[in-house]
Amino acid sequence: MTILSAVGGAFAVGGAAAVPDARITVGEVGVSPGDPAVGERTALNVTVSNSGGSDAAANVTEVRVRDADGDVLDSVSGVGALSAGDSLDATLWTTFEEPGEKRLTVEAVANQSTTGEFVTVSRDAVIEVRPTEVSLDLRTRALDPEDLQSDDGSESPAADLGVGGIQGIFGGGGGLDANDGGQGEESPPVADSPVAVTVVNTGTTTADRVSLRAVGTAVEGGGDTGDGDDADGDADETVDVGPFVVEDVAPGEERRVIVDLGPLDRRSAVTVSAAFRADTDQRNDRGADRTAESTVTYPVREATPTVTDATVREGADGAVVVDANLGNAGSGEMTGAVVSVGDAPGVEPTPAGGEYFVGSLSGSDFVGVELETAVNASVADEIPIRVAYTERGVRYTETLTVAAPEPDDESDGGGTLGRIGVGGVGSASALASALAVVGLAGAVGVAVRSGRVGGSSDRGRDGPAP
């Protein structure tokens, strides 16, 4: 906060105090920026006036600013002439080396036209100087390529992207003007894997030489070894794009851009880093050695497979039949969905219930499935249900569970061995933590050995895919 105070007066050089013919005053001193920081160039905007009741004109020869020790920090000369009732403006510049309250004195020196004597008037200004803070805040949000298109499939202008103020696309698919040259054909997406990046300067000094880089590694078992590592145990890098140069960002300002990660067939944890330097670093001749980071998972997984209304019963030849609904509790579409019995102690899929091809499930949709398996009830506690599906070009495999039947200690003539109602399967206690991500290849045309569809949905009642 800037506090200004004034000490008004006129002093005739070389004589006793008297009312001068030219009544010169210094108006309120404006400070820009209003809350300067250490090292920040600060402007003092000064207005010098000659009162309308003055008996003489005056020529303002100099306007200067002094610090608390009386040292002149800046001055301008030959400012201009003032008739009675006129005013003129002058700008003085200074910087501050330390934070805290600073008292400055602005002086105006004028030569009276009637007597030739010089009059000096002054005004004090008290300024609160903030410490230097160099800080960038980096915000990232994963987008779908369709977010960059309008309803007719053409490129969407920046104002329609839903992130506001987009100033360009870096990498991958090119820029906002990447189209078909007006040939009437549908334009391809301008980005394969777009991430909206917002760079916000939360410090007190300009961040310049800002550049962005994005590096991603597979998550949830996306690597060659199924756990995100390659054969050598190193992190499996999926993307490395940049650096891309962004404009300088002044304090309080922000820049919004899109970084295209390029083609991805594995879900990745992507770290977007901004390298920059502060304008106060220039005198040290340092490079862009300051950094800010933000991590985003791409693509965002919006499909959520669940298993509900699961009934576990005895089938033919002693097999156990799992009759359940496979649902999509998310908003994204699951495509190429395949359901099968997973591996677990005491559980072994039978040839009649190895895999069942479901196909596509939109958000909030479901389909009934039946899977057969051999279960050793004295060993198995639960039956794993594997759901493999593709969303946004990435293949996922998630394992859910249903309770295995209890050992049949009492003869009841067969029938239902166990039942999990709605909310039992798919609840936190029933979900397995095993997740995997594989390549997109093979997502369509999965060979299905056997399976039957039951439940309340008509989807897939024709049986397994050939």
H or E element at residue 89: strand 87-94
**What percentage of the chain reaches a pLDDT higher than 90?**
25
Q: Is residue 455 part of a domain?
A: no
Give the CATH number for residue 380: 2.60.40
pLDDT by residue (tens digit) across 307-360?
988 888 887 777 888 888 899 998 888 999 999 888 888 888 777 666 888 889
- Same domain? For 52 and 200 the reply is no
- Same domain? For 267 and 145 the reply is yes
- Same domain? For 339 and 281 the reply is no
Domain boundary among 84, 108, 129: 129
CB 128 within 8 A of CB 3: yes
- Same domain? For 339 and 424 the reply is yes
- Same domain? For 273 and 343 the reply is no
Domain boundary among 129, 148, 167: 129
Which pLDDT band holds residue 114 (cuts at 50, 70, 90)?
Answer: confident
pLDDT of residue 108: 93
Which pLDDT band holds residue 125 (cuts at 50, 70, 90)?
Answer: very high
- Same domain? For 251 and 365 the reply is no
Write out the two tokens for 464: 């397994």
What average pLDDT does this structure show over 435-454?
A: 31
What average pLDDT does this structure show over 394-416?
A: 68
pLDDT of residue 106 exceeding 50, the answer is yes
- The answer for residues whose C-beta is within 8 angstroms of residue 316's C-beta and 6 or more apart is none
- Same domain? For 292 and 375 the reply is no
- The answer for residues whose C-beta is within 8 angstroms of residue 381's C-beta and 6 or more apart is 403, 404
Q: Is residue 66 part of a domain?
A: yes
pLDDT of residue 227 exceeding 80, the answer is no
Give the CATH number for residue 61: 2.60.40.1470
pLDDT of residue 164 exceeding 90, the answer is no
130, 105, 101: which is closest to 46 by C-alpha? 105
The per-residue b/e assignment along 283-307, b for 16 or more CB within 10 angstroms, e otherwise, is: eeeeebebebebebebbebebbbbb
- Same domain? For 294 and 153 the reply is yes
Residue length of the chain? 466
pLDDT of residue 168: 74
Half-sphere exposure of residue 441: CA atoms within 13 angstroms, side-chain side: 0
Measured CA angle at 135 (ends 132, 136), to 5 deg: 150
- Same domain? For 290 and 244 the reply is yes
What average pLDDT does this structure show over 245-273?
A: 89
Q: Is residue 267 part of a domain?
A: yes
**What percentage of the chain reaches a pLDDT higher than 70?**
68
pLDDT of residue 294: 94
pLDDT of residue 155 exceeding 80, the answer is no
Q: Is residue 453 part of a domain?
A: no
DSSP string for residues in 329-393: -SSSPEEEEEEEE--BTTEEE-TTSSEEEEEEE-TT-EEEEEEEEEE-TTT-SEEEEEEEEEETT
Task: Give the number of domains in the chain.
Answer: 3
431-438 vs 394-403, strand pairing mode: antiparallel
What's the mean per-residue pLDDT of the chain? 73
> Which of 293-302, 400-409, 428-437, 444-453 ranks highest by mean pLDDT?
293-302
Q: Is residue 454 part of a domain?
A: no
Range of the domain at 430: 305-438
- Same domain? For 388 and 287 the reply is no
Q: Is residue 81 part of a domain?
A: yes
Q: Is residue 463 part of a domain?
A: no
Q: Is residue 387 part of a domain?
A: yes
Domain boundary among 298, 314, 334: 298
Which pairs from 9-16 meet CB under 8 Å and 24+ separation?
A: 9/121, 9/122, 10/119, 10/120, 10/121, 11/119, 11/120, 11/121, 12/117, 12/118, 12/119, 13/117, 13/118, 13/119, 13/120, 14/117, 15/117
pLDDT of residue 150: 60
Total-model pTM = 0.54
- The answer for residues whose C-beta is within 8 angstroms of residue 183's C-beta and 6 or more apart is none
Write out the two tokens for 136: 């960038």
Which pLDDT band holds residue 34 (cuts at 50, 70, 90)?
Answer: confident
- Same domain? For 233 and 266 the reply is yes
- Same domain? For 141 and 285 the reply is yes
